[in-house]
């Protein structure tokens, strides 16, 4: 039962109390949610977020397997991309190789954008079914491809289903994770993407030694069917997002999910406090406009949309997808044979897994802003050194190559993926869904992923031709873009570490859109009532941004605004 000491509704009263102009305090700082504290971690919540994140295997594996596939001589011969006698590329090989890589991301753009409709209409769980079904359809026929056109057509559907998993699992985990651990729980998505990449590399290397030349590339492609099937099998144990349930008016179901995530009873402080904030915010959000037009017409939404578009584009324009998909071409240009190239690719991507895991842990320690800035800056420096080494010692590779120079180039490519995986890859799946309110989060996340995919589409289409014509100079594009991204991140990125999703709007000057602050919610243990003070203390600040404060009033010294028994 909800009792009120005022005549206004919860949303109305809080919207009046918490505008940026009325928030001021100098004696208390609360950079993260106050409720819950160290009790925010539960093994059940962790397991659910981990299992949901397994959907990223269904993206990472098929996205990366094309790199080892195009490094298999049997695939090149079967698809007539090389002359069977001279093993030199055929006349249209560059265009076909580019299309085989790029069409995956053309499908990915469609998958990312369409997934937002499914998430909003039918929920996060049914979105997993959508992703898995398309992935299986495309994967079966891609594995059975008889010629380049058939491979390219069904590779489109593989990309559509696989990359739809990125926004779906990103939004899903962000809405299930507790505020203080959202960076780590959400960062598991980035870790699993790299695990998928790594598995693809190892399968490519393993089947390189298969006796059947067709099995060398069909078997690794067929293994991609395992991961969407696994997600369908796990679906019954996934809880629906409580935030989506609240937007649909299903409050009782949502409350049960929250209590189960926290492994608590109806009197648990954290579960009650968090659910109260979720519920009051959802009551406000479900009446807000949420169309694609609104995403770009409302200034604060538009600022966030621009941020996610640029993070997606800048991240991929660092060159990571080119290095991953065209590593056979890069390492062969450095003088390594086919087997050495596959081994180097396995080591390159495996190191990224451990870096991504460390980055996920640091996301809640250091914050999103320093990780993103470090990511762009570090990747830029690695590209500079690698490009210099390639220009000096591998353009072309001499008969007596400088092993130290080539080794330095490879080392920089390894360091590049470690930094990218720890900082930028995690930022995509953690930071992007955090920025948007409940009613438009799916569209915002999908927009960022679509931007990423569109950038990949362009890069992968032009890379084969660029690598064969201008060589190392192509890396200057990545250096320039990453340098610009570093400056942009320093000026633009806002810190979201530890904040409840319901309070992110404060960072964009929308205090009137936040119905209640976590700092105002506590449990009166004398009577076990949930007390929501009329005002509380909070100080959300970010470098280079206006500070947003809340007036500080002790609950003991004035009546509570709302009391829930």
CATH classification of the domain holding 429:
1.20.1250.20
Residues 77 and 220 in one domain: yes
For residue 540, what pLDDT is reported? 40
Q: 266 near 259, Cβ under 8 Å?
A: yes
The two structure tokens encoding residue 508: 């964009």
- Tell me, yes or no, whether 317 and 443 share the same domain: yes
Mean pLDDT of the chain: 84
CA of 6: how far to CAs of 18, 551, 553, 560, in Å?
16, 19, 17, 10
For 24-53, the three-class secondary structure string (H helix, E strand, C coil) is CCCCCCCCCCCCCHHHHCCHHHHHHHHHHH
Largest pairwise CA distance in the chain: 89
Cα distances (Å, whole numbers) of residue 438 to 132, 218, 331: 24, 42, 45
Q: Do residues 12 and 121 both lie within one domain?
A: no
Mean per-residue pLDDT for 68-96?
85
Read off the tokens for 390. 């390639």
pLDDT tens digits, 370-412: 999 999 999 999 999 988 988 888 766 666 777 788 788 888 9
Q: What is the 3-state secondary structure (H, E, C) of 529-548?
A: EEEECCCCCEEECCCCCCCE
Beta partners for residue 562, in sequence order: 4, 532
In this structure, of 45-59, 95-109, 215-229, 490-504, the range with the lowest mean pLDDT score is 95-109
Rounded Cα gap, residues 534 and 555, in angstroms: 8
Together in a domain, 267 and 351: no
Domain stop point among 475, 492, 509: 492
d(CA 536, CA 18) in angstroms, rounded, equals 10
Q: Find the mean pLDDT for residues 15-23.
A: 35
pLDDT band at 548, cuts 50/70/90? very low
Overall domain count for the chain: 2
pLDDT digits (tens, 9 = 90+) for 269-286: 888 889 999 999 999 999
What angle in degrees, to the nearest 10, is found between the helix axes of 182-207 and 148-176?
Answer: 150
Q: Please identify, among 492, 522, 541, the residue that sits at the C-terminal boundary of a domain.
A: 492
Cα distances (angstroms) measured from residue 127 to each of 132, 138, 440: 9, 17, 16
Residue 327 has pLDDT above 80, yes or no: no
Question: Do 166 and 280 belong together in one domain?
Answer: no
Task: With respect to residue 36, please indicate whether it lies within any of the assigned structural domains.
Answer: no
Mean pLDDT of 467-492: 92
Q: Report yes or no on 37 lying in a domain.
A: no
Same-domain status, 403 and 504: no
Reply yes or no on whether the pLDDT at 334 is more than 80.
no
Cα 162–164–166 angle (5° rounding)?
Answer: 90
Give the model's pLDDT for residue 67: 79
Q: Decide if 159 contacts 108 (C-beta within 8 A).
A: yes
The answer to whether residue 88 is domain-embedded is: yes
Place of tokens 């964009």: 508
Residue where a domain terminates, one of 492, 515, 532: 492
Q: Decide which of 16 and 331 is more confident.
A: 331
> Residue 536: pLDDT band by 50, 70, 90 thresholds?
very low
Say if residue 238 is in the same domain as residue 198.
Answer: yes
456, 552: one domain: no
Q: Is the pLDDT of residue 530 over 70?
A: yes
Residue 506: pLDDT band (50, 70, 90) is very high
Cα separation, 104 vs 224, in Å, equals 14
Q: What is the pLDDT of residue 113?
A: 96
Residues 150-161, mean pLDDT to the nearest whole number? 96
Is 127 within the bounds of a domain?
yes
Q: What are 131's two structure tokens?
A: 């992703």
- Check whether residue 389 and residue 296 sit in a common domain: yes
- Render the burial of 329-358: b for 16+ CB within 10 Å, e for the rest: bbbebbbbeeeebbbbbbebbbbbbebbbb
Q: Which helix (H) or strand (E) holds 549?
A: strand 548-550
Based on the fold, state whether residues 208 and 142 are members of the same structural domain. Answer: yes
Q: Are residues 195 and 157 in the same domain?
A: yes
Give the domain extent around 278: 2-31+250-285+500-564
Same domain as 49, residue 68: yes
């Amino acid at each position: 039962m909800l009792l009120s000491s005022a005549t206004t509704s919860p949303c109305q009263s809080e919207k009046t109390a918490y505008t940026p102009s009325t928030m001021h305090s100098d004696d208390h700082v609360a950079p993260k949610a106050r409720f819950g504290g160290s009790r925010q971690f539960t093994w059940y919540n962790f397991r659910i977020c981990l299992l949901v994140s397994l959907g990223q295997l269904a993206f990472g594996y098929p996205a990366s397997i094309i790199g080892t596939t195009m490094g298999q001589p049997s695939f090149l011969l079967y698809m007539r991309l090389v002359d069977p006698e001279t093993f030199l590329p055929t006349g249209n090989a560059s265009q076909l190789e580019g299309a085989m890589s790029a069409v995956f991301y053309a499908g990915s753009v469609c998958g990312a954008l369409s997934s937002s409709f499914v998430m909003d209409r039918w929920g996060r769980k049914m979105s997993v079914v959508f992703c898995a079904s398309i992935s299986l359809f495309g994967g079966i026929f891609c594995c059975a491809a008889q010629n380049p056109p058939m491979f390219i057509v069904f590779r489109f559907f593989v990309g559509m289903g696989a990359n739809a998993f990125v926004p779906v699992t990103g939004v899903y985990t962000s809405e299930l994770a507790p505020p203080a651990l959202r960076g780590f729980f959400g960062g598991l998505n980035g870790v699993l993407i790299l695990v998928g990449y790594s598995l693809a590399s190892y399968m490519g290397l393993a089947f390189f030694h298969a006796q059947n030349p067709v099995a060398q590339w069909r078997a690794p492609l067929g293994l991609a069917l395992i991961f969407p099937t696994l997600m369908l099998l796990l679906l019954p144990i996934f809880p629906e997002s409580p935030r989506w349930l609240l937007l649909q008016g299903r409050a009782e179901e949502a409350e049960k999910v929250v209590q189960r995530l926290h492994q608590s009873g109806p009197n648990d402080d954290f579960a009650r406090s968090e659910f109260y904030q979720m519920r009051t915010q959802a009551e406000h959000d479900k009446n807000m406009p949420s169309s694609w037009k609104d995403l770009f017409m409302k200034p604060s939404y538009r600022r966030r949309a621009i941020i996610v578009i640029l993070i997606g584009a800048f991240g991929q324009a660092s060159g990571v997808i080119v290095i991953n998909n065209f590593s056979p071409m890069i390492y062969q240009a450095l003088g390594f044979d086919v087997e050495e190239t596959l081994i180097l690719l396995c080591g390159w991507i495996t190191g990224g897994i451990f870096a991504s895991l460390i980055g996920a842990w640091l996301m809640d320690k250091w914050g999103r802003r320093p990780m993103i800035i470090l990511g762009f800056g570090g990747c830029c420096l690695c590209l500079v050194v690698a490009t210099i080494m390639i220009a000096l010692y591998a353009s072309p590779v001499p008969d007596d190559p400088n092993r130290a120079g080539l080794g330095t180039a490879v080392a920089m490519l390894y360091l590049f993926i470690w930094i990218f995986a720890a900082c930028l890859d995690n930022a995509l799946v953690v930071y992007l869904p955090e920025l948007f309110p409940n009613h438009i989060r799916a569209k915002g996340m999908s927009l960022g992923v679509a931007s990423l995919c569109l950038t990949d589409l362009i890069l992968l289409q032009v890379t084969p031709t660029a690598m064969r014509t201008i060589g190392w100079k192509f890396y200057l594009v990545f250096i320039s873009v990453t340098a610009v991204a570093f400056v942009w991140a320093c000026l633009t990125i806002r810190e979201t570490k530890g904040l409840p999703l319901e309070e992110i709007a404060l960072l964009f000057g929308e205090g009137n859109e936040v119905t209640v602050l976590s700092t105002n919610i506590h449990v009166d243990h004398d009577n076990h009532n949930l007390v929501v003070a009329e005002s509380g203390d909070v100080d959300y600040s970010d470098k280079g941004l206006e500070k947003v404060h809340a007036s500080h009033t002790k609950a003991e010294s004035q009546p509570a605004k709302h009391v829930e028994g």
